[in-house]
Amino acid sequence: MRFSVATTLCLFAADKATLADAETLSCNVGASMALDSTVSACTMSDKRYKDNKPFYGPTDTICTGDQYACLSGNWAGDYDTAYGCFGGSSVGGANQIENAKAQIVTGCKSSPSCLAANPDGVPARGWTSCTTTNCNPCEAPQGGAGISAPSMTLGIFALLLSFMSQV
């Protein structure tokens, strides 16, 4: 009897750990600026974005388990642009996150105003990469407050990058 109770408890604990590993990860997406200066709304998505095309729509792959992470760029002018979920082949999506960051930096470097406000094309206030639902910041200044000419085009490079990366 003791053996079966202990075995049952161990199996129950192992089963709960497996369920936790397989939970769906939902990430924020949005707060990027279009060519007409409108800022996209922040939404949530549990779909994986391709690391070599972070500005394209998501894939049909659902982000589950510990191989995925959410990504945001914390740009000059108080823009926190949320890029969604990346990953699939490394813990925390590390490889895919790095690939996505490289594409995003390339896009910023192609915009003189983005590059002027964010040295080397890297978000002036850093990156956020995290692994819990709704953990990545997604926010643009309210009512235009705090928007400067360089920061107004931070989201525009998303469109430029989509034309540049036809991989």
Reported as a pLDDT band with limits 50, 70 and 90, residue 138 is very high
User: Comparing 13 with 34, which gets the higher pLDDT?
Assistant: 34
| Model pLDDT, residue 1 | 47
Please state which of the ranges 32-41, 57-66, 73-82 shows the lowest mean pLDDT: 32-41
pLDDT band of 54, cuts 50, 70, 90: low
Residue 158's Cβ-count burial label (10 Å; 0-12, 13-18, 19+) is: buried
Between 66 and 123, residue with greater pLDDT: 123
Residue predicted with more confidence, 4 or 97: 97
The pLDDT score that the predictor gives to residue 111 is 87
Could you tell me the strand order of the sheet in which 43-45 lies?
43-45, 27-30, 79-87, 68-75, 127-130
Query: Which two structure tokens, joined as six digits, stand for 145?
Result: 């407050």
Mean pLDDT of the chain: 75
Higher pLDDT pick, 136 / 21:
136
87-135 pLDDT, tens per residue?
A: 876 777 888 889 899 999 998 998 898 899 999 999 999 999 999 999 9
Amino acid present at 9: L
If one compares 8 and 59, the residue with the highest pLDDT of the two is: 59
Taking the C-alpha atoms of residue 73 and residue 101, their distance in angstroms, rounded to an integer, is 9
Q: What is the pLDDT of residue 95?
A: 85
Mean pLDDT to the nearest integer, 44-55: 79
Neighbouring residues of 4: CB distance < 8 A, sequence distance ≥ 6:
none
* pLDDT of 85: 92
